[in-house]
Amino acid sequence: MHAPAVSARPHGLRPLLGWPRLRFTLLCSIALGLLLGIGLGGGPVLMLFRSVPLGVTLMLVFGVFGQWPRRLPRWIERWVLQVIAVAAAVPLATALFVVLTTARGEPLFFSDSDAMGAYLRLTGAALLIAPWTALGALVRQREAFARHQALAFALERSEFERQAVEARLRLVHAQVAPHFLFNTLANVQAMVEAGSPRAPAVLRSLIAYLRAAVPRLDEAETLLGEELDLVRAYLELMHMRMPDRLQFALHVDEGVRGLRCPRMTLLTLVENAVRHGIDPSIEGGRIDVHARRHESRCVLRVTDTGGGPGGPEGLGIGLGTGLATLQERLRLAFDGDANLRVSALEPHGVSAELDFPVRELGR
């Protein structure tokens, strides 16, 4: 996705008749008319009738030559053309408005020394002020264009960064799905090879679980309620595989099922507890899943009483690809505003707690 091209020259009526530009022109013209009419003589009202239309005319000339002609020869810059046009228009426009404001029957300015003096004063003051004002307007216009370009480039860069993050998320999800599926299928294979009579029932539960889970594996986010349903189905499946060694319970606060979370977030923690806590233990153990909302944070905690790693040095990302991948997914999904903590429990067991910002349905 590319940001739209930004033209260095504004077009249309807005640059010609924009209120900020018109307001500035009127203020300068009134100040000039009062200065010449009061300070140098000639009557302030008459000077205002000449200076105000003169200022507006020069403003229009500046705007017209900012748009026309569309293309210029290489030997002249547009800003040079605008300044020259304004300077050239000053004596002509001043003569026009002096003639238009001369009372009927009075001599024209070029045949009367006093009128000629007023014309020269207004022309000289306009030539002194108007070109420099035009240059100042050009500088401000170029600064505004530079800011606009910077914003456009920042928007384009942000879009590219978003696309890169989405690509990395898709890659991470592609790693998560096989990791979970292969582990589960390996468990079923072990039961079949051992000739367990519970293998068909476990396989049927696995098929039912996969029918619900696999079509949604490529989605980035899910509702926490859906994730809890998948966790329950997974734990029921694992309980059928080892009914004497696995007990579990889900503790879910009201109102959290409608919150959003990255897909397979909670499931990864639960699978990690089964694989590294319950499976290695001869006695097995119990898994408790907690989901609650604390102010603006969603807190998920999975604890197991299995005989997994015996100390903090055996915990964390070193347990396998599951938690490492989960940590990367959370960093990308929440821009670093998510925390994953894994700690040892006494006398044995592991607690994995995750908190991230609340994202409700429809937001």
CA distances (Å), origin 105, targets 99, 102, 209 = 12, 9, 103
CA-derived radius of gyration, the chain: 39
Topology, domain 196-357: Heat Shock Protein 90 (3.30.565)
The SS3 of residue 361 is coil
Report how far residue 253's alpha carbon sits from residue 256's, in angstroms, rounded to the nearest whole number: 6
Q: What phi and psi, each to the nearest 5 degrees, are found at residue 352?
A: -120, 120
Contact 338, 269 (CB under 8 A): no
Specify the residue for token string 């999904």: 333
Q: Which residue ranges make up each domain of the chain?
A: 13-158, 196-357
Q: Which residue in the block uniquely carries the two structure tokens 């304004």?
A: 86
Q: Give the Cα separation of 353 and 329 in Å (integer).
A: 15
Enumerate helices (H) and strands (E) in the chain, giving the number of each: 9, 7
Q: What's residue 290's pLDDT?
A: 96
Query: pLDDT digit of tens for each residue in the chain (363 aa)?
Result: 444 433 445 555 566 667 788 888 888 888 888 888 776 555 788 888 888 998 889 888 888 888 888 888 888 888 888 888 888 999 999 899 888 888 777 777 777 777 788 888 888 888 888 888 888 888 877 887 788 888 888 888 877 776 666 666 555 555 445 655 676 677 777 777 888 777 777 777 777 666 656 655 556 678 898 889 888 888 888 887 788 899 999 999 988 998 988 888 898 899 889 888 898 888 889 999 999 998 889 999 999 998 754 433 344 434 456 677 788 888 888 888 999 998 888 888 899 999 999 877 555
- DSSP, collapsed to helix, strand or coil, labels residue 172 as helix
Strand duo 285-294 + 246-252: pairing: parallel
Peptide bond just before 357 cis, omega within 30 deg: no
The Cα 40–Cα 56 span in angstroms is: 22
Are 126 and 61 spatial neighbours (Cβ–Cβ below 8 Å)? Answer: no
CA 85, CA 57: separation in Å to the nearest integer? 11
DSSP symbols for 298-329 = EEEEEEE-S----SGGG-GGGG-HHHHHHHHH
